[in-house]
Structure 1
């Protein structure tokens, strides 16, 4: 039997698998796709670090490996090119002797009477047994298959007494659409790209998740791959964009393509990590992501393709539609896909940016109160978070606005929130289920946290830190035969410190 089975080759999964293997465990890493690294190698090259002082352990190792690759000081680049990130992770896995299996999606988990997972059954009919399991998927599929309680989406403010929980106010800002844009077509139908669902009251829980999207790797190099009009491109889908540009024109707002995509050379070798900026972006805000966490494989694939096509068509629309200002079209015409990135997926990333999905309800639920206004001490700290509370837009919706002589329908974007935090400890108890739910599972990605707290923890660097901790904890549990809830945390903390993990400032 394998000592440690890791499901999901995200950054958290790679770090968990490598840490466990380096500590002497036999490790199998199961990945439904064909690549390792998740978003770190899947388009999110510009890494959201937060406070660099707490980026130690394997997250610090990755920063140094990136610097060594390019021959520059640590931190010179905010992140590596996608293919470089994957190459580093692949080398780590090979050197550690991890058994990596691609194209194996989860079908079921088999639990024994002792509350432990005995094995996982994969969609191809094979299985993998282990002493300890790590769910490092973005979706939390293994924890769900094991019957571990979990939450999805925004909770009500009353649940944990969090100020920032629940549905947000409809307030102006750079991430919402300009005023006075009608949500209706000339025929009276609702426009595409809107979430056709009644708004929940402010502060109430509605199950909404942060929007998903694709981060694209762009370049101005001569060998760039030009944007193409996709078969199936729908002109009507972009009517909202035409109205937004028309509103900006009438309001005298000058718009650049760079403002919509973050077009700056923020990656090595003249590349750009295209971001989701502003009210009209690579993020899909029609509410389709709300169904993704609990959806089956066929429905998830439909949602994924919807997001992929949105990204492709968004770039074509911005660079070719006559309603887009000529300056924007001209600026974007100088850009294209990087020819040496994502060659096997049409130069678009292999990873959908799943900003949040399931969140385990474990031994300790990390909440806003653990981060704000003053970080709460945790005796079992295994990593430190430092990125601000970063709730990306949850939906683009509409409502009736009182006007004479009759109400006017108006489009709004809702959910964005950014609140600074100081470095805070993340407890080991947030990585493990309650004892009664499962005794041999660790969850470093879909960890036990409220929607608000998770919006800070959810960064790739922190997944690396937590994956490192989960990998070492898994080895300790496998070695001693103890439930993961009974691991000697002080021993785990010593091992983490010895590997450079920062547990306090």
Structure 2
């Protein structure tokens, strides 16, 4: 073959490739698989699509990739790490490689790091994985994935939710974003925490807690008086402005709703917060500022908790490398903004931004209160002032996490609904595409006045499975009558209680890989995702390192 012929073939190939990626219309983009959402699940899904030889585009409302994994949740909810395989494990392997570099330990000597993790050492040298990390380190791993595999990401692109999804004969043909861009594909993956593409495509879903009668569960619905973590009022704390006087009105952050019978379903969802990355290094911390709309009265309930002798303020200031923390909710009154997120799943983008801002104001005000208010014990104030937000994290957002912790939003009503019976091992789960292991973990859904006249939280659940459990393929696909070319690895088909276990970041990555694998194979077989041969899918998942059964567990 002469050089002229080779040049002609190269130019023709380039033209074909560009035509596949971008049709003649300047606002239209096309690929085999379109991933909506730049979360950890979304990036892993795109990576798997590329590894299977498919063209893929990631359309991300967010500018930063990785979702919560890069947004402050660095103290990974691993559960049993032996069932975390495939590309999820590759992510944690790359975190391990990052912290093998001497330059990664800027604010702390590696030898001084305590190596504490959840269910496993933070640094697992034998398995060459690391499970605890700083936000910027995680985000860099996701950016490296995108760069190495030449994945095109459209950032700050928001689905036009009202009428932006085009469907024909039960298939999504394309969707449009608010900027006017149109994305066409053979298969679509909704990897958002909210499930916006799924909802806009007309796939049924549920928001809130089902009644126990819905799926014959025990831990769903209202759970007043059930205390399975430490996030409740252990003392008799008056909810009223004037203690003991109902006529004085309720303190801020307490609902006046009446509690129905336990097991009753409702539209409430577990609380959100921000997983703050705080620093203890004097050269890398920014003191907690006084918010513009700061009102100490909204934290009076916490002052009463302190006055009653509570002393667990710092129990979830979990250490991550470089003298930083992944700071989570802990106790009866903490960073969870209980009861203020019910509207979020269905809210407009503008309404969601307002809800997120309210959460930010509440949490920043809480930190200022802890650091400065004389009603906070002096020893707590002294210790809290050893911390500040980490100066070298979230540098384009005032050192504040760019991702709120959406613990739960919409949940698809799909081909198979996972319930607590599946998680707790009371059923044999069919067609597994991954495994979970974390306990049923739902944060409080409301703060109310109990029948005894004192304040109490409700909704906190923590029931541990006997062993890791399978997650069904039917959990990430709609019913065939609803959509035949959509996969949903985050807002999966499950009850509220089951989702409390499934909702962990490693599991989202596992399901993202499985979703992309199924999408690629459905393209090859020219089939609906519901008609895909599970035996063939299972074989490919195992080939790529996914753990589907207990006997396949890793070290």
Fold in common (TM above 0.5): yes
Deviation at 1:256, TM superposition (A): 4.8
Helix, strand or coil at the partner of 1:241:
helix
In the alignment, which residue of structure 2 is the partner of 1:405?
none
Which of 67, 76, 92 in structure 2 is aligned with 1:63? 92
Structure-1-length-normalised TM-score? 0.94
Q: Is residue 2:360 matched to residue 1:308? A: yes
2:320 aligned residue: 267
| Structure 1 position 433 matched with structure 2 position 478 | yes
The structural deviation recorded for 1:77 is 4.5
Cα distance in 2 between the residues matched to 1:399 and 1:81:
40
Hey, what's the Cα distance between the residues in 1 that align with 2:37 and 2:426?
30
Superposed, 1:82-161 pairs within 5 Å as 82-108=135-161, 109-161=164-216
Instruction: Give the match's secondary structure for 1:170.
Output: coil
Q: Which has the larger radius of gyration?
A: 2
Q: Helix, strand or coil for the counterpart of 1:3?
A: strand
Q: 1:474 to 1:76 in 2, by over 3 A?
A: closer
| Number of residues of Structure 1 aligned to a counterpart in Structure 2 | 488
2:274: which partner in 1?
214
- 1:4-19 matches, within 5 Å, as 4-19=33-48
Distance 1:376 1:101 in 2: 41
Cα deviation for residue 22 of structure 1 reads 1.6
2:82 aligned with 1:45: no
Asked if the contact 2:417/2:475 (under 8 Å) is kept, the reply is: yes
2:433 alignment counterpart? 382
* 1:481 to partner: Cα distance: 2.3
2-structure distance, mates of 1:449, 1:122? 28
Q: How does 1:178-189 map to 2 (within 5 A)?
A: 178-186=234-242, 188-189=248-249
Please report the TM-score for the alignment, with normalisation by the length of structure 2. 0.85
Q: Quote the Cα distance in structure 2 between the aligned partners of 1:160 and 1:213.
A: 29
Change (3 A) 1:176 1:75: farther
Q: What aligned pairs does 1:16-415 form with structure 2 within 5 A after superposition? A: 16-71=45-100, 73=125, 74=127, 77-108=130-161, 109-171=164-226, 174-186=230-242, 188-223=248-283, 224-248=285-309, 253=310, 255-259=311-315, 262-264=316-318, 266-285=319-338, 287-372=339-424, 374=425, 376-401=427-452, 409-415=453-459
**Distance apart, 1:378 and its partner CA:** 3.1
Whether the 8 Å CA contact 1:256–1:328 is kept in 2: the answer is no
Counterparts of 1:77 and 1:313, CA distance in 2: 33
Give distance in 2, aligned partners of 1:438 and 1:280.
Answer: 42
Q: CA deviation at 1:179?
A: 3.1
2:396 match: secondary structure = helix
CA contact (8 A) 2:83 2:435 kept: yes
The CA deviation at 1:221 is 0.8
Cα distance in 2, alignment partners of residues 284 and 272 from structure 1? 20
**Cα distance, 1:244 vs structure 2:** 1.6
1-side partners of 2:183 and 2:219: how far apart? Answer: 41
CA separation in 2, counterparts of 1:75 and 1:239?
47
Q: Which 5+ residue runs of structure 2 have no aligned equivalent? A: 1-29, 101-122, 551-555
List gaps (5 residues or longer) in structure 1: 402-408
CA distance in 1, matches of 2:230, 2:369: 21
Contact 1:319 1:332 in 2 (8 A): yes
Q: Which residue of 2 aligns with 1:404?
A: none
